[in-house]
Amino acid sequence: MKQLLLYLSFLVGFQISGHAQSAYELPQSVKKILFLGNSITWSGEYVDFVETYFRAVKPEHSLEFINAGLPSETVSGLSEPNHADGKFPRPDLHERLSRVLTAIKPDLVIAGYGMNDGIYLPFDEDRFSKFKEGIVWLHNEVVKQGIAIIHATPPVFDERKGAAYANVLDIYSDWLISKRYTANWNVIDIHWPMRKYLEGRRLTDAAFTLAEDGIHPGTTGHWLMAKEVLLYLGEQEVASADSIEEALSSFQNVDKLLRLVSERQEILRNAWLTHTGHQRPGLPAGIPISEAKEKAEAIDQEISELAQ
């Protein structure tokens, strides 16, 4: 009951506030931004959108966006007894974070966890505690290395695939947002804007969905995620855009630019995951990191020419 009352109080508060988010001012010292997360981050479309926008609008910033998301991963350390039909337990960020930070040396981490951390079961205080402990551990490990971190709430879980788990992610998201005020954390709210969008679209199209499986967003969902990241980073011009193409409507080569960014991201993501190591079977092996950087530099040249 206590947890339910906490959730309801947060929900009312955010409905009143309209989910307003303050912008985070990127320090000039930030050049390398690392994205951590699960399969939604690994798939990378929202990361591609964020990089494409900055490449087109602010090429002078010379920001490097690195995707090190890992499918199935949690920060809670929990896993279903028969996850992946018993083939492997969920990987745990605790196992690889130190290697990733040491190898990549980011200036800023944007971390999005939660979707897997309740392991798709109804709310449970012990599982919630494991999630909170994992997030606090992640925050402290990053900060003690002198790296800035921005947390992101998990994307919405479609309640048509399970109302109980949709409620779990509501609660996890509200706790993360509360850390803005209780611990002065930087937190991007992705969850509630996605839920508001989903519910709004279903008023006119009952069959509308952001994720066919209830978990992994399609392109529209990834754009909603990217938009909240961009808004939090101060790019208010994207507020009314419904797609990356609309956000960059004055740019003539958006499709080509996005394709090049996506190609570069995939090469480097696979290379970094292989280079730093992980316990998630079934992923494509990356080429050696030195070779990946050479390929990325060649694509960078094409991107720079296109963005001029």
Q: Taking the domains of the chain in order of start, what are their residue ranges?
A: 29-307
Q: What is the per-residue pLDDT for 12? A: 42
Contact 153, 190 (CB under 8 A): yes
Is the model's pLDDT at 16 over the cut of 50?
no
pLDDT digits (tens, 9 = 90+) for 61-90: 889 999 999 999 999 999 998 999 999 999
CA separation for the pair 106, 92 (Å, rounded): 20
Ramachandran bin of 22, using left for φ above 0, alpha for ψ from -120 to 50, beta for the remaining angles: beta
Which strands make up the sheet holding 108-112, listed edge to edge? 64-67, 32-37, 108-112, 148-152, 186-188
Q: What is the per-residue pLDDT for 61? A: 80
Contact 100, 36 (CB under 8 A): yes
Q: What percent of the chain has pLDDT over 90?
A: 87
For residues 2-28, average pLDDT = 55
When mean pLDDT is compared across 20-29, 139-148, 246-255, the lowest value belongs to: 20-29
Cα–Cα distances in angstroms (integers) from residue 271 to residues 118, 147, 257, 285, in the given order:
29, 22, 21, 7
For residues 53-57, average pLDDT = 95
Task: Give the CATH fold of the 29-307 domain.
Answer: Rossmann fold (3.40.50)
Q: What is the per-residue pLDDT for 22? A: 66
pLDDT digits (tens, 9 = 90+) for 218-251: 999 999 999 999 999 999 999 999 999 999 999 9
